[in-house]
Amino acid sequence: MKKNSIKTVVAVGIGAALFFVLGRFVNIPSGIPNTNISVQYAILGMLATMYGPVAGALIGFIGHTLIDLSWGGAPWWSWVLASTAVGAAVGFMGRKLPISEGVFGKKEIIAFAVINVIANVIAWLVIAPVLDIAIYAEPAAKVFAQGAMAAVANSITAVVIGALLCAAYSKTIAGKGTLDAE
């Protein structure tokens, strides 16, 4: 039990750092103000699936908070909470996928894709815009346009890059019965 908790703490630290670096320095402007195409949701999807909802939530929360702070302002809490929700939801729904056992075939890829799309759509089309309106009194048309772009972009990066990362990782794990006794 203790070994798993140490692995989870390390995963949160590395995951939050990667989320921050990718979110801060590797993004593509989307054409929608304050909304970028970012690859950090691939890392979030993979690590949340491997380590569960608490790790996923912490990676999303810490990573997104650090990104916002690095721009010199206060965190934009509605979006920080949306990233937190993505990590928690993917971790909760994806925790049964056997990536850590070396299994990530077609069935698992489809499940990973569906889980990430559902989490991103709820986070960016419901949580972020509703909180933007409630907390910051932002115009609805603006925040739902931003949310739609974020939902699409984050779903695509999570599914495509995240699935490739999960598949590559799963190939490094020796499956049950694959080692021969000498």
Sequence spans of domains, the chain:
2-25+35-171
pLDDT for residue 3: 53
Q: 48 with 61: CB under 8 angstroms?
A: no
Locate 43 and state its tokens.
Answer: 């890392």
Q: 90 with 71: CB under 8 angstroms?
A: no
pTM of the model: 0.90
CA-to-CA distance for 182 and 169, rounded, in angstroms?
26
With b for 16 or more beta-carbon neighbours within 10 A and e for fewer, the 60-70 pattern comes to bbbbbbbbbee
The 3-state DSSP composition of the chain as helix, strand, coil percent (nearest 5) reads: 75, 5, 20
pLDDT for residue 64: 97
CA-to-CA distance for 170 and 3, rounded, in angstroms?
20
* Positions of the chain with pLDDT under 70: 1-3, 175-182
Regarding the domain delimited by 2-25+35-171, which CATH topology (the fold level of the hierarchy) does it fall under?
Answer: Arp2/3 complex 21 kDa subunit ARPC3 (1.10.1760)
Name residues whose C-beta falls within 8 Å of residue 159's C-beta, 6 or more positions apart in sequence: 45, 112, 113, 116, 117
CA-to-CA distance for 148 and 154, rounded, in angstroms?
10
